[in-house]
Structure 1
Amino acid sequence: MERTVQNYLELLQQIDRWFALSIERYPELIACQGGCSGCCRSLFDITMLDAYLLKLGFDALTAETREKVLVKCRARLELMRQQWPEFRHPFVVNERPEEDWELLMPDEDETPCVLLDANGRCLVYENRPMTCRLHGLPLVDVTGEVLHDEWCTLNFTESDPLELEGLRAPFDTMIRREVALVRDFTQALLGKRISELDTFIPTALLVDFAGLDWHEWLRGFTPVVTDSEEE
């Protein structure tokens, strides 16, 4: 599992280099900077590989800091259970269709991420999930295919970033690599290769990766079949 995590970190670093290069190329168009946490609102679903990496960073924080964050995580979980009363440890969301996830992630939700400190900075920045590293810019593959056509409203206020070739990167290859690593991770964790095993950021911090009998849990796991699982 450690090798998979290391390989995933290398992939995340590749994404970080793309983001930094984008800012270097278009400094007058991109407002993203340290301490800007406008995008860090609402809930975000993440893979269990991201959750594992996030938990590694979280567990390295002081006990006092962890407990303050966990109080917010538990409060967030109670709100989720108003919609999903059966939502239980290890908080895998894939037993419900993605339309149900969206009930927990309304666009108007401005609740700050549980991992932001008082200054709007991430407490586990080096271990943050892939979605956090991609957020704020559109995702356009080197082929010109648009994979994600939204961006932070503070960026590109007077231009169309979809037309900027300097923002392009091999996202199709990187996403395929991510899926392969998730499958490697689930093989190590569950003894079975699964393409989609997801949770939310607050619930990721409540997962007991070491204490849970994942093989026993898998016996009762009934995922909603998606296109990627069918392939």
Structure 2
Amino acid sequence: MQTILAQYKALLETVDAWFDRCLSRYDDQVSCKRNCSGCCRGLFDISLLDAALLQQGFAELEQQQQENCRSKARSRVQMLRSRWPQFGPPFILNDLPGNEWQRMPEDDQTPCPLLSDTGSCLVYRYRPMTCRLHGLPNIDLSGESFSDDYCTLNFRDIDPLKIPELRWQFRDLFTQEFDLLGAFSERLSGQRRLELDTFIPTALLIDFKRTDWRRAPFGEKGCTS
């Protein structure tokens, strides 16, 4: 399991390298930088693989920091349970009916529980893929668009969707991500799953060691390869 997490962390570092190259080339057009937390609001869904890696970084925090973050995460869970009473450990979103979790309010300004009082990310080296990709459009070298969203503080004078230098091998990236998630879920539950999602706050509350990952409904829903 640790080998898979190490491979995933190495994959995430290639995303950082791409972003850094874009930032270096268009520094005057990109506001996204470390300690910028303007977009770290609301609920972001992440994979279970992201959640496991996030917990590695979380374990490195001081005990009081961990408890402060967990307290904020528990508050978020209470809010979510008012919407989905059945939502509980291990907090797998794919078990919820109707994929409502994919349509969360966009005006939610609740800060991520992993932000410090000064707005910096406490687990920056372990942050999920979505955090690393956010801010720039994700256009493959082939021209295929995986996401044409970008931070409104970036590229105010030019259209980033028309800048070929921002493109990258996103299809290959996501293929590798799914391969690792499939291997991770198979080791965890005995079944290869490509859709296992949770939220960042709930990721802090998942007990990977004590959860019986082979039980239902974990094995009944989600995409298989």
TM-score range for the pair, normalised by the shorter chain length:
over 0.9
| Equivalent position SS for 2:206 | coil
Q: Secondary structure of 2:46's partner?
A: strand
CA drift at 1:230: 6.1
**Deviation at 1:97?**
5.0
Q: CA deviation at 1:224?
A: 4.6
Describe the SS at the equivalent of 2:94: coil
- TM-superposed CA distance for 1:96, in Å, is 2.5
Alignment partner of 1:94: what SS?
helix
Q: Which amino acid aligns with 1:150?
A: D
Correspondence for 1:220:
217
What is the CA–CA distance in structure 1 between the aligned matches of 2:82 and 2:130, rounded to whole Å?
26
Q: Does 1:170 align with 2:169?
A: yes
2:185, 2:221 → 1: CA distance? 17
User: How many pairs align?
Assistant: 225
TM-score, normalising length from structure 1?
0.93
The answer for the alignment partner of 1:33 in structure 2 is 33
State the Cα RMSD in Å: 1.4
5+ long unaligned stretches in structure 2: none
Q: 1:160 is matched with which residue?
A: 159
CA–CA separation in structure 2 for the residues paired with 1:198 and 1:99:
11
| Residues 1:137 and 2:136 are matched in the alignment | yes
Note if contact 2:141-2:167 (Cα within 8 Å) is conserved in structure 1: yes
Correspondence 1:53-202 to 2 at 5 A: 53-97=53-97, 99-103=99-103, 105-202=104-201
**Gaps (5+ residues) in structure 1?**
none
Q: Structure 2: which amino acid aligns with 1:53?
A: L
CA distance in 2: counterparts of 1:157 and 1:26, whole angstroms: 12
Deviation of 1:220 (Å): 3.3
Offset, 1:213? 2.0
8 Å contact from structure 1 (residues 37, 121) kept in 2: yes
Matched letter for residue 118 of structure 2: N
Does the 8 Å CA contact 1:139/1:168 hold for their aligned counterparts? yes
Give the drift of 1:142: 0.5
Q: Compute the displacement of 1:221 (Å).
A: 2.9
User: Deviation string for 1:101-128 (max 9, x for gaps)?
Assistant: 045x211111110100011110000110
CA, structure 1 residues 44+35, in 2 after alignment: closer, same or farther (shift >3 Å)? Answer: same
How many angstroms apart in 2 are the aligned matches of 1:136 and 1:98? 28
Deviating more after overlay: 150-159 vs 91-100: 91-100
Identity of aligned residues (%): 45
Residue of structure 1 equivalent to 2:206: 207
Q: Aligned equivalents of 1:98 and 1:23: distance in 2?
A: 38
Provide, for residues 62-87 of structure 1, a one-character-per-residue CA deviation record: whole Å limited to 9, x for no partner: 11110011110000000000110000
